[in-house]
Chain A
Amino acid sequence: MILLTAVVIGLVAALLRAGWTKRRLKPLSLKLEWLVVLAFLPQLLAFHLPATRSRIPDEWTPVILVSTQAILLLFAWANRKEPGFWALGFGLILNFTVILLNGGLMPISPETIQRLAPYLPADAWQVGHRLGDGKDIVLPVNATRLSWLSDRFTLPEWIPYRVAFSIGDVFIAIGAFILVWSLAGPVRDRNINTTLQLQIRKEVSND
């Protein structure tokens, strides 16, 4: 997935940064991490696992997607002071808004599908229906609310990977990169809580 690329690039950059500045990667103090697991598990069953995603009724998927994204918004808000979360949260709000306004799934236009996968037979998708077992719903641009927030972008032809993504995804990728990059940053640049600051000071004095 394209968003995971941002994490990999961020991690490589952070490791180079850590090596260059002779620092070790240091963890962030995230809050309410269990919310992410709570949001991911239903999505894993509904959208990712081939064995289960085809068995979940299409009527359930908008409920699953909207409710789990609402949980993620809560997590992003709880961690808004951490590096990159402004972008992660903003991207999530953009995706959440367009999903909510278009029946609970991410809209994708027939034109984008044809650009993405011209080899697909005409009966592989239907306007107004879910695209395969994914999070998308096929909607014409003129029938899509806030179509500029939908899955409308594709990668250049010279990249041998076909994927559609939204503006929200771009912000999420930026946020992911900033977060991973910050793992190699100086401690003073981070919003860490007092307990962690005291812990670090104690370790430094022990050294």
Chain B
Amino acid sequence: MINHLLTQMTVHMNPKTSRVFFVLLVLVLFILSAGAPDAVGGMGG
């Protein structure tokens, strides 16, 4: 399903380029979830 959404979003893009973007997106989501938080940001500061 995710791959399908990606295809829809990047229909005008080279498939390899869109896959690179997808890997980067997955990585960003991974580190946002896996990493410890920005403590000050977590306080809304």
Interface residues, chain A, CB within 8 Å of chain B?
1-4, 6-7, 11, 24-28, 30, 33-34, 36-37, 39-40, 43, 47-48, 50, 68-69, 72, 75, 88, 91-92, 95, 106, 108, 112-113, 116-117, 120, 124-125, 131-136, 151, 162-166, 168-169, 172-173, 176, 179-180, 183
Contacts and interface: CB of A to CB of B under 8 A. Distances in A.
Contacts of A131: 39, 42-43
A151 B24 contact: no
A108 B39 contact: yes
A147 B22 CA distance: 36
A134 to B, nearest CB: 2
Given A1-B35, A72-B33, 11 more contacts: A25-B16, A40-B29, A40-B32, A43-B33, A91-B35, A133-B44, A163-B39, A165-B36, A166-B36, A169-B35, A183-B20
Contacts of A30: 23, 26
B11 interface: no
B15 to A, nearest CB: 9
Contacts of B17: 25
Interface in B1-45: 1-2, 16-17, 19-20, 22-24, 26-45
A88 B34 contact: yes
12 contacts: A25-B17, A27-B23, A34-B1, A36-B29, A37-B2, A39-B29, A39-B33, A43-B32, A88-B30, A132-B44, A151-B37, A172-B34
